Each structure stands twice: as C-alpha cells, then as structure tokens.
A and B are shown apart, each in its own frame.
Chain A
Amino acid sequence: MKDDLLWVEKYRPKKIAEVLGNEEAKSAFLDWLKNKRRTKKAVLLYGPPGVGKTAVVNAASNEFGFRIIEMNASDTRTEKAINKVAGPATSFVALDKFSTESKGNLLFLDEVDGIAGKEDRGGVGAIIKIVENSLVPVIMAANDPDLEKLRPLKKVCALIRFQQVRIPLIIAMLRNICQKEHVEAEFEALERIAQNSRGDVRSAINDLQSLAEANKVLTLQDTMVLSYRNKDISMDDTLRGFFSAKSLSEAATLLSRSSVDYDDLLLSVCDNLPLRYADPVALAEAFDFISQADVFRGRIGMENWHLLKYFFNSLAQAAAVSPGSYKPFQFISPPIRIITLFWTKGKRTALNGICAKMGLRCHVSRETAKNDLVPFIKMILQKQPSSPIINWFKLTPEEVDFLLKMNKF
C-alpha cells in the first residue's frame, strides 16, 4: 500500500460545498441547518449509497462546529437503547452555546431504514419522541425512504433527496485525486471507473485506489478487471486472486466483488492458508486474522449483515501478511472437513450409538457420555474384556470391539 489511509477517508470533504454534486440537496440542507430547523427539528436525507449523505453531515460538523452523536445500524436500536443514547444528547444545549468553538450536539441516525422490526422494537416510535422533545438538530439518513415502517418518521421530518452523482463530476474528481497521488491514468480508464460506479462516489474512489496500486500507469485495459469482477468469480479464481493479492486493498476489493458463499470462502482460505505461508510465524499471524474474521462471522449471525465489512476487512488482512512471497500452488478441494467427515462417518455413527446407550443408563446426554464415560469404560474393558458392565449397558460385541480399538487409528 502506498499509504495507510484509504483514499475515501483522505479525500473526505471538509466543507459542505466540497461534497460532489447534488447542489439542490446541499443548499436545502444548508437552509434547514441555518433557518428551517427552528420549525422542523429533524431532517431525513435519502438516496442511494455513496452519494454524499454522510459526507454532508460530517462536513457540516466540521464547518459549523457541531458535535455529532451518531447511532447507526450496528447499534441496537430498541426504544430503550435509543432513549439511553439520544435522550441525554438531545435534552440539553451545550453551555458554550455562544462560543465560536461548538454549537452543541447534533444527533445523527444513520441507516434508519435498517431499524429492524422485531429486534429494535419501538425504535421508530422512540425516534419520533426524541425528535419532538429534542433541543438540538436531528439528522437521519436512509437508502430507501418508502419503507412502510418509516412512514411515521416522514411526518416529523423535512425530506431531502440525494441523487446519483453525475459521471463527469466523478471523472473530474478522480483526475484530481490522481494528480495529488501522482498516479498516471488514461482518461478512458477514469471514465470507465466512473461509469462502472453508477454514481456511487465512494465505490469509484475505492476502485481507483485498488487499480492504481496494482498498476503503475492506469490504462483502459487495466479497468477491464472491474466488470469481470462484477459479474461472478468462482471459488478457485477468488482464492487465486486472494492469495496472490499484492496489497491489502487489492484483497479487500476482490473479496467484496466475489460472489462465492462467505462461509465456504472462509473455510477454503483456512484449508489453504498453510500452503500459502510456509513460515510458521507468518502463518500464525495470518490465522489470527482468519480467526477474527470468523468471530465477526459469528456476530453477523443471520441478520447483522452490516457487519460484513469487518469480516472482509479481517479476511483481507490475512492475505497481506507478506505480500511478496506468493508462489502458485494447487488448492485443496473439496474442504478437508468434508473429506474427513465422509471417511469417518462409520466411526462417528458407531460411537454415537454407544453414547446413547450409556447416556440412558447414567442419566446424561450423549455428549456428556462421550466426554465423561467413554474414556473410562474403554479402559475398564481393556482390563476386563468380559466385564459385566457390557451387559448392563446392553453393548453389542461390535460396540465393545469398537471401544477397544478407539485409540488405534
């Protein structure tokens, strides 16, 4: 990586005027912030991702000195949780209200369309109450403003629509970044990145950064990878791209583009990682990232999909432990786990049957029988092959035989 900052962070707008495009929306927002919020305390910014909703809010904070209290979809937003955070933040006006340094708090509820119905019970109602009682401005952002559950919100808010940013504006901005980063790029290449982004500034900058890091001079040819990636990448291609990635951001971009199942991917990376890093120190480091990725996967569960970016981030880090050392190798496939489970099925079934019999006799589960009883009974049988406990447990001769041979694989 040329530098540690992601360009989307580095070139984040500092003033509202610097936010790309959406002139109408920006002036409506400024108007609300300066005048209208005396009559309408809240505003809902809506529009597709990456068009500047969050950027406008951050820029406003920077420009006018608001302190942002933010809640996004990663926080639980039940009525109780919202009241706990938003209540104190909105119920007083900062003492230094008249100083130039701070204009006090600004409550920012990002991704309000992500308020889940069941998990965040009462969330929408609580927001309305907060808005009604708030002494500070409340800003909300959403991708899809037509959701049924947000309808009550729309009554208490001013609505401002953000649109896709026009392609020429994005091209100009990409050129600007290229100049500052000393990247040589063909105009057609930038044009293609911009078109490919479909008006999403954030993804355009990300694409530019990952392509620029892989290529000294960015040509139209280099950008072909974009559409290719967008379509579909099979497991083998994903793995190859992942393990050979030259930088963290290249790996991250590849992962976000691949359409293979996340769980399959994580397991395949886990299987193949020792072939990628022969050195135990590098391997341990990479595995630590994989382990963190798995922890994020656990937190995602079946619903917290907004955490997926952290999962990818950890996974990408595993690819960048020692980027120079990649040598092509043959991938392990199908997964080791599946092969092992296939070959050991007979043994597992036999053991389960034995454990069920023991559990019934000793008032424990199969699992407890396996861990607590089997090791001892196996030893008793080794000493006394015709022990009366065989009959007591109703074990068949095959089962006894199985227990006796357990240690020999």
Chain B
Amino acid sequence: MATDEEALMWVEKYRPKNLNEVVDLHDIVESLKAFMRNPKTMPHLLLAGIPGTGKTTVALCIARELFGQNWKTFTLELNASDERGIDTVRDRIKDFSRYSRAAFGNVPYALVILDESDQMTGPAQTALRRIMETSSRTCRFILICNQSGKIIEPIQSRCAIFRFSKLDRKAMVEHLEWIAKKENITLAPEAAERIVEYSEGDLRHAINALQTAAVYKEGFVDEKTVLQVIGEASPKQVQVMLAKALNGDFIEARKMMYELIGAYGFSGSEIVRQMQRELLKVSYLSAEEKAELTNIIGEYDFRLTQGANSDIQLSALLAQFAKIGKLKGESN
C-alpha cells in the first residue's frame, strides 16, 4: 500500500493526519496529546463508540505522532471482524508484539491497532489479554470497538477507556462545508442538513453521501440530489421485499430475503436495519402504522441478538408484516 498516492475517496483524503485536525472530540484529543508528550506514559487504549465517530482516525493519528513518516513499519493494523479467531491473535499479534523495536529507530514501542475488536471470540480475547500483559514493555495496544461491554473485563481493566459519542450536528455540517470548499463544489445549507440528519452522527457515512451526491450533480449539491442519493443507497430488494410482505405475499417476500442473504451476504441485523429505514419511506402507510411496525421491528431486532438463527427471526418478522398488511387490506 503506497502512502504518498493521493486518496480518491474523500473519507480517506480528508481523514485527519494529526490530532489537531480531529473534529469535535476536544476532551479526548487533549488527554491523548498529554500521552504524546511523553509516550512512555501511554497505557493500552480502548476506544469505544458508534461507527463513524473518529475512533480509527484517532488511532491512526496516534501512530503517526508516535512514529512519524514510517508509522507503518511500527504499526500492525488488524480488523477483528475479518480475522476474528484465536489463530490471528496467537500468530500475527504475538509475533509482532513481543520484540523490541528499539534497534530499528528511536521509538518507544510498537503499536497494534485492533479495529472492531468486539468481534473477537472469547478465547481470542483471553489469549490477547495474556499477550497484552507479557508484551507491555515492547508494545502498546489500541483496541477499537462499538460496544465495550463485549470486551472481556480483564482487558478493559488493562486499558484507558475513551468513549466516543455521536458527533455534534453543527460540527458535522461545518466539516462537510469545509470539504465542499476544498473540492470546489457548492453545498446548499439544507442539503448539508439532510446528509447529517440521515447519517445519524456517522461522519464516514455523511462524507460518502456527499461525495456521491457531488458526482450525481457536478459541482452543485442541493437537497434534491441528496434525497436521490440517499434513496438509491439501499438495495432495491429491500423495498420490494417490504412491499410484498405488506401485500400479504409472505412466500415471495421471503424469497427476496434469501436473495439478500445469499447474493449480498447481508447479515440479519443489517437487513433489519435497512427494513426499518425503508419503512419510513413507504408512502401508503400512516404515521401510526409505521410506528406500530417499527415497534415490531424493534422486538425482532432484539430477538436476533438472542436467537440462534437469523433466518428464523427474519421470516417471523416478515410474517408479522404480512399479517398487518392483510388486516389493513380488510379494513379498507
């Protein structure tokens, strides 16, 4: 991976390179800067929070501040969602962390950035805990996760925990405007508002939406373009599946569901998330009906986390939609 090549996705192009550039995380940044003044004092870090709030960015900034230009030499960046088993921990992380890097440059220790670490299996976490202990002289860990509760307690107690909350609306709008200016495009104020509203505090999502909208209508992003981009961002199948279910056609709706699982490889919770989004866009349902259906989605979203097989929960959810669709058809 070449570093000097200019990034073309704006999420990368405008990713802050040092802690001073980071948006809207004042308290966290100040604490981290204190560590940077004397790197030996930095403990292992656990960065927790919802997606798109700057956790990975902050971790990469720390790597740059610690090691400068050659940060990649001294940093092992792994994504636990891709490699979640114990083997990765035992092989790659262990090998990387146990040797001192002092001979290769003026660096205090090596750095392991483990993204989405809450996806790691229990045994892998237990193994990691040992390694964190035995390699503390030669290596520091930055663990990144959405839910710190899924990280085993012994690891939590070995880390300084930083919680990233939803980014501030205003800061997000300002950041989008700043990017638009750099890219020489006009961004209508209501368009920026729409993007931020739709992204629910996820800056990565917002920047992607902005870039796509800028391609759609060259040089000028207005509210209409944004709505169009947002509308097309989710697969058509989800819309069609929802419509079929509400029409009482359970069997066809379920066929679409299996296509989403099969061809896209979507997880159950991702399908539920998209169903919820699509539901809000359906025009032939009243606000009350949408609220009722959203309640039902919520219940099954929870059962998904408890159950063993997401196919069953999704099928059951579609059956609920088919029932409500039928009752509605009868009352009209």
Q: Which A residues fall within an 8 A CB radius of B?
A: 263, 266-267, 270, 273-274, 280-281, 283-284, 286-288, 290-295, 297-300, 336-337, 340-341, 343-344, 347-348, 351-352, 356, 359-368, 370-373, 375-376, 379-380, 383-384, 387-389, 392, 406-407, 409
Residues in B neighbouring A379, C-beta threshold 8 A: 212, 215-216, 229, 232-233
Please name all residues of chain B whose beta carbon is closer than 8 Å to the beta carbon of A290 when the two chains form the complex.
312, 315-316
Q: Would you call the interface of chain B mostly helix, strand, loop, or mixed? A: helix
Whether B121 is near chain A, meaning CB under 8 Å from some CB there, is no
A280 in contact with B325 given A367-B267, A379-B232, A380-B215 (CB within 8 Å) = yes
Q: When the two chains form their complex, are residues A365 and B319 in contact, meaning their CB atoms are under 8 A apart?
A: no
B233 touching A375 by the CB < 8 A rule?
Answer: yes
Cβ of A271 to closest chain B Cβ, rounded Å = 8
Whole-angstrom distance between the alpha carbons of A291 and B317 in the complex? 9
For residue B282, CB closer than 8 A to chain A, the reply is no
In the complex, what residue of chain B is closest to A373 when comparing beta carbons? B208
Please tell me if B248 contacts chain A, counting CB pairs below 8 Å.
yes
Chain A binder among B35-43, B94-102, B302-310: B302-310
Q: How many pairs of A and B residues are in contact by the CB < 8 Å rule? A: 180
Q: How far is the CB of A396 from chain B (nearest CB, A)?
A: 17
- Residues of chain B within 8 A (CB-CB) of A365 are 79-82, 115-116, 119
Is the pair A297, B308 in contact by a Cβ cutoff of 8 Å?
A: yes
A136, chain B: closest CB distance, angstroms: 35
A38 to chain B, nearest CB (A): 44
Q: Is the interface of A mostly helix, strand, loop or mixed?
A: helix
Residues of B within 8 A of A373 (CB): 9, 208
In angstroms, Cα B208 to Cα A390, docked, is 16
Determine if B104 is an interface residue (Cβ-Cβ < 8 Å): no
The answer on a CB contact under 8 Å between A270 and B312 is yes
Which residues of the other chain, A, contact B327 by a CB distance below 8 angstroms? 281
Report the minimum CB–CB distance from A262 to chain B (whole Å).
9
In the complex the two chains form, is A406's CB within 8 Å of B211's CB? Answer: no
Name the residue on A nearest B204 (C-beta).
Answer: A372
Q: Cα distance A150–B259 when bound, in Å? A: 52
Q: Scoring B residues 268 to 301 as 1 if CB is less than 8 Å from chain A, else 0, what string do you get?
A: 0010000000000000000000000000000010
Interface presence of B12 (CB below 8 A)? yes
Q: Knowing A290-B316, A389-B9 touch, does A336 contact B208 (C-beta < 8 A)?
A: no
**Contacts known (A299-B306, A365-B116); A376 close to B212, Cβ less than 8 A:** yes
Q: Mark B69-101, 1 if CB is under 8 A from A, else 0.
A: 000000001011110000000000000000000
CA distance A368 to B229 in the complex (A): 19
Which of A270, A293, A344, A388 meets B263, CB within 8 Å? Answer: A344
CB contact under 8 A between A392 and B9, given known A297-B309, A344-B263: yes
- Residues from chain A with Cβ under 8 Å of B215 in the complex: 379-380, 383-384, 387
Can you offer 25 A-B residue contacts whose CB atoms are under 8 A? A267-B312, A283-B250, A284-B320, A290-B315, A291-B316, A294-B312, A294-B313, A295-B306, A298-B306, A298-B308, A336-B254, A337-B261, A340-B258, A340-B259, A348-B265, A362-B11, A363-B56, A363-B77, A363-B115, A372-B52, A373-B208, A375-B232, A379-B233, A389-B9, A406-B235
